[in-house]
Chain A
């Protein structure tokens, strides 16, 4: 049973694209195919002039370095401090020796501090261990780590699903603002339709592995939502 079927998408180099749909419909798979955390069985993915599905080894790593990712469960290295986690974003450009001795180049350290402040954490957080942070704080660090890569694209796999409603809004707001500020497109996989409507420039609705809606948030009607999610009850 293929998870994804006949996906053909063109994501522009600006703005926030939200992928919505019920659980199990392949949203996460779609996102993870892009940076090859999941291997697509067929097809092509073109990014910055190269087909990602054909890359191996060093080329694949270089491509991944250009794609930042934010995860549902933050996926920070718990025992590392905030600043070490943010500096993970530089690992594609830093030698193992430097990483081991934690002697990162000063410009990178400066930028890490800037990003920590930009995501709304004050400097005191830099030396705190990741496992001492709240969910919202951890996700902010995750965003900082992704942006540290100076990426050409940011992927976010259900970034708000583990957060409470208020923090979800704050995090979405932060991501949208920072990405727009740096001119980086984001593809977000999200199940909260309201958040999608609020922050996305383009919404892609998936159902059973296929794209069933593709357009601006204003164009998303209840009928479309029914096609995507099926069933009347949850529409209220």
Chain B
């Protein structure tokens, strides 16, 4: 009977199914079971569209975010000043966190894949060149256009420098960040998932345990639960765990029927080396009038993608300084401080309650503003009303109503002083980790405990890189950067683990002693269990992770196709 119900659903034309339609106790067969319908999960699923492989894509959330399913993510954070609540920066719904991301796409640099003696536990078991073909496809998949991440490639006719005559010894301004729409993978690719008869998406279906077969080397069953109390399972040939950087270790650690430490955790590596990025805004950048206006905003490439230059610490400089990867952008001054005299920034400060938590973080600050500062903000808006209105119109037209959204606020401060916005690599640290706590969620799954930590190397990366940037500016005379070196650490930690980048919790390694998955993203010691997503990154780079998540997912899917073609004679 159960099989009959599923068979009917399988053959139905609409193959996005709410799990409440599955009969309790059903065992669903699938060639490929993908757990998590975010960027990684959808990227893998789409690689199999219209093939003979039956794909079951499990998503714990629904089409839209809901409080009840979002609560699955709840957990404990050891130091709340350093890490946001676990329900923030993540989205339990079809499309996953792509429903809230900002769209920034940047590939990792070749040096990120290398073993760097000055960065402990660095080095990937694959090279940049191995990932390059997949980066090219991933860039289109993320709707960030061509894989043209240097100014020369993207703009053969020329792209203005951020600061004219900038020639850095440590930094280059030739690399680009490109911006996705930002694409919500759930909405964008729902039609393709629907059209593919071999793909079934089960919504509100939470994988709560991976059950190994008798040999302990393969996943025989994926146990699934719903908030309605249903329990059923999937019997897959292959499993791809694509549930995000925090849910991946949670499910591995919670699957301890045969291995008490959890699947893939024979060497106590699951959940360790949890990384994010170190980010902040610091200092005052003054620009001599003789050098003209800076070009710190966006240019549109031929494919319609917004692109932006930034200052990137070169590989040579990283080696010379013995630090991690680092980039910086020319940024407007902190909106909270009314001394910028810019109406747009003061208006942004007033608007912060209406801005989503994840993006309003930098608008908030510690302590109360004085009445005088409030008045100065009001004066900024009043005296700068034409510019403020122009900005409001630009934002409405080019961001709020546009399908390809203008990525961020770009203003020229009235005071002529900018700041430096930086984004730095966090080094792998086994003491920075996620573990299972004693509390349980509504489905009985143990909740996570996050103990995110920074290392002295992380702080040194920021300090040394900022000093190098200051030196580069002053060497060419195109700008001066002033900041208090004693404030660097406080500034770097003000936003804590930044941006919802959950990296390294099931890291890739050549040997099982050093990580959880191999270069093919297969869990060490397991035949049919793979992991897709930022959990497998051994290091974090300066780059936002989404593009690399998609590229690795495409590479993983290619490997799976090869495996399946051998085993099943199809694909």
| Physical interaction between A and B | no
The residues of B with any CB-CB pair to A shorter than 8 Å are: none
The residues of A with any CB-CB pair to B shorter than 8 Å are: none
